[in-house]
Amino acid sequence: MVRLSATAIPAEAADGDAFLARLREFVGIEATPTRYAQDAVNQPMIRHFVEALGDENPIYVDERAAIATGRDGIVAPPPMLSTWLMVGYKAHKTAASGKAPDSPMARLLGLLADAGFVGVVATDDEHEYVRELRLGDELKMTTVIEDVSARKITGLGPGHFVTTLRTYTDQHDEVVARQRFRILRFDPSKAKRAAEPVSADPGLRHKPFILRDNEFWFSAAAQRRLVIQACSDCGMLRHPPGPICPRCHSYAWHEQEATGRGTVHSYVVSHHPKAPGYDYPLTVLLVDLEEGTRLIADFAGRTEEVEIGMPVQVEWLDYDGELTLPRFRAVTGAPSLEKEDH
Chain contacts with Zn ion (rule: CB under 5 A): 231, 233-234, 236, 245, 247-248, 250
Among residues 171 and 250, whose Cβ is nearest to Zn ion? Answer: 250
Amino acid at 45: M
Q: Which residues pair with 227 in a beta bridge?
A: 257
Burial 185-212 (b: 16+ CB within 10 A, else e): bbbeeebeeeeeeeeeebeebeeeeeee
Least distance (Å) from Zn ion to the CB of residue 236?
A: 5
Among residues 213 and 307, whose Cβ is nearest to Zn ion? Answer: 213
Q: What's the angle, vertex CA 85, arms to CA 83 and CA 86, rounded to 5?
A: 65
Among residues 199 and 250, whose Cβ is nearest to Zn ion? Answer: 250
Least distance (Å) from Zn ion to the CB of residue 230?
A: 9
What are residue 156's phi and psi, to 5 degrees?
A: -90, -10
Among residues 36 and 251, whose Cβ is nearest to Zn ion? Answer: 251
Among residues 168 and 253, whose Cβ is nearest to Zn ion? Answer: 253
Q: Are 165 and 143 in contact (CB under 8 A)?
A: yes
Q: Are 148 and 27 in contact (CB under 8 A)?
A: yes
Amino acid at 251: Y
Q: How far apart are CA 88 and CA 1, in angstroms?
A: 55
Q: How far apart are CA 183 and CA 99, in angstroms?
A: 22
Least distance (Å) from Zn ion to the CB of residue 237?
A: 10
Amino acid at 171: Q
Least distance (Å) from Zn ion to the CB of residue 252?
A: 8
